[in-house]
Amino acid sequence: MLLFGSASEGLALLIFLVVAGRALGPEGFGYYGYLLSILMFVLVVTNWGLPSIVVRELAQRPEDEARIFASMFRIRASLAAFFFVGALFVTTLQPHAPSDRLAVTLIFLYLLFVPFDLAPLFDAHKLSRWDVPGRLSGRVASVVVLLMLWMVKGKLTVADVAACASLLMLVNVLVAWRISRRLGFSLRPLGPPADTRRLMRVSAYVMWGNLMLTTYLYSQTVLLKWLSTMLETGYYSMAARLLMPLYVLKGILYRLLLPIVSEAAYDDAAFTARLQRALPALTLIFAPAAVLGVAGAEVVIIPIFGREYSGTILPLQIGLIHFVVTGAGSLFGTALLAAGDQRTPALGLTAGCVAGLGLSLLLIPPYGAVGAAWSAFAAAIISAWAPFPVFSRRWRLGIGWRMVRIVLSSLVGLTGFYVLAHKVMISAIAALGVSAVIILIGLWLSGEISRRKLDVLISMFKKPAQNLDP
């Protein structure tokens, strides 16, 4: 259900992007992307790393659920109110047009709904599938309202798009709370809290790591507006939003895995067995998806978004290719977090963030959106693999060759696409189909695609706790 929800949400997001992108144009969409990037920074601090830590805490102390949730709600609600009021205050001090002030207000409304998000509770109970209806309903509602505004007004403003973005979160939490009541959750946001100070302290490392992650993901959009042109900002903003379905899928799979590995944190044999299954499975999902996305970008961007977005293709391809190794590599930090080491993943993300910011300052002025994409690429690689030395000293899995085979099969398929499309000169659509076949054949010949392994892959994310142990 989660994968179905991810695919459906990705389709709804694509429709949203097509409508907003065509109606606003690259420069208008660039300003929306700029506001969204600032919101993402604030959102990280508002969440304070609590979603991940609360999943771990509830997996280990389920009897304290009500008190832990009350603590999480109080922390997030206080931070959300502070930043929302702060955003309104800052906009009054800036020489913005009234329409720009309205756009800022509407997009920051998103923060006020964040404390009510129940995703950590669903994850901790291994009921993540019940988060899907809310997220999907919110995404569909935002698309429907955006289309209605476009048809009624004949045009769209950044404020219209910002309002629909906040509507997404409102509908999400309303549906999630209704489901939680049916599932029997007894949640009192203002009930007696647990050890709030300890939660804030242990979550601080995660918050810092998430802030570093968000910085290298979204700082490029902000720096492009400051150091380049709004057109280049629009190109990169569209590429970044088109990457979201893969990030959503990655987030869903890692949400599933975090409680599973957390509950085995004190059993080395079970923990190792779960990692041995999870790493090749994640590689098998993300490596082929990333390379097919790189090829597909040449096929779909201009027909769907128009020739004015041709500058989005290369930044999108650069952003996709790092998933070949980071799709599974991010599990190194997640495993350490589940085992109680918040510090190493946070340091890895900090290193990636610093490298990304440094490269951005060097590459954005001369190369625009392409320079921003390479900066984000380097940051993603460093962030995912920096924890590997600590990870490898703690767990020796013996599965490296399996992951290499999957990556090689995927890259051979991508090479086939470029040979066929740019040397043999067959149609790009046909070359994309042949590329997919090459990848499947490579995975089958290497033994990574078989009925047994596919059954394990499906069952691992369907009932992971029972299928990740020896």
pLDDT band, very low/low/confident/very high, at 8 (cuts 50, 70, 90) = confident
**In this model, does residue 197 exceed pLDDT 60?**
yes
Lowest mean pLDDT among 45-54, 61-70, 254-263, 406-415: 254-263
**In this model, does residue 231 exceed pLDDT 70?**
yes
Q: Quote the pLDDT of residue 394.
A: 87
**In this model, does residue 469 exceed pLDDT 50?**
no
**In this model, does residue 84 exceed pLDDT 60?**
yes
Rounded distance between C-alpha atoms, residue 277 and residue 451, angstroms: 15
Lowest mean pLDDT among 36-40, 70-74, 97-101: 97-101
DSSP secondary structure string, 132-194?
HHHHHHHHHHHHHHHHHHHHHHSS--HHHHHHHHHHHHHHHHHHHHHHHHHTT----TTS---
Rounded distance between C-alpha atoms, residue 320 and residue 310, angstroms: 16
H runs (alpha helix) in 243-387: 244-262, 268-305, 313-321, 323-329, 331-338, 343-367, 369-385
Q: Quote the pLDDT of residue 459.
A: 63
Q: Is 359 part of a structural domain of the chain?
A: no
Q: Is 210 part of a structural domain of the chain?
A: no
Q: Is 296 part of a structural domain of the chain?
A: no
Q: Is 198 part of a structural domain of the chain?
A: no
Rounded distance between C-alpha atoms, residue 30 and residue 27, angstroms: 5
Q: Is 268 part of a structural domain of the chain?
A: no
Rounded distance between C-alpha atoms, residue 374 and residue 360, angstroms: 8
Q: In terms of Cα–Cα distance, which of 79, 80, 76, 180 is closest to 121?
A: 180
Q: Is 22 part of a structural domain of the chain?
A: yes
Q: What is the mean pLDDT of residues 352-368?
A: 94
Give me the number of domains the chain comprises.
1
Q: Is 206 part of a structural domain of the chain?
A: no
Q: Which of 91-100, 338-347, 456-465 has the highest mean pLDDT?
A: 338-347
Lowest mean pLDDT among 165-169, 172-176, 289-293, 451-455: 451-455
**In this model, does residue 463 exceed pLDDT 70?**
no
Rounded distance between C-alpha atoms, residue 409 and residue 283, angstroms: 11
Q: Quote the pLDDT of residue 201.
A: 87
Q: At residue 185, what are phi and psi to the nearest 5 degrees? A: -65, 135
pLDDT band, very low/low/confident/very high, at 10 (cuts 50, 70, 90) = confident
Model pLDDT for residues 379-400, shown as the tens digit of each residue: 999 999 999 999 998 888 888 8
Q: What is the mean pLDDT of residues 403-408?
A: 93
Q: Is 391 part of a structural domain of the chain?
A: no
Percent of the chain with pLDDT over 70: 93
Q: Quote the pLDDT of residue 467.
A: 44
Tokens, residue 236: 């990169």
Q: Quote the pLDDT of residue 456.
A: 64
Model pLDDT for residues 411-429, shown as the tens digit of each residue: 999 999 999 999 898 888 9
Rounded distance between C-alpha atoms, residue 253 and residue 86, angstroms: 34
**In this model, does residue 82 exceed pLDDT 80?**
yes
Q: What is the DSSP letter of 422?
A: I
List the domain range (segments joined by +) for residue 13: 1-185
Q: What is the mean pLDDT of residues 250-259?
A: 76
Q: Quote the pLDDT of residue 183.
A: 87
Give yes or no for a contact between 460 and 277, defined as CB atoms under 8 angstroms apart: yes
Q: Quote the pLDDT of residue 96.
A: 65
Q: Which of 6-10, 171-175, 182-186, 448-452 has the highest mean pLDDT?
A: 171-175
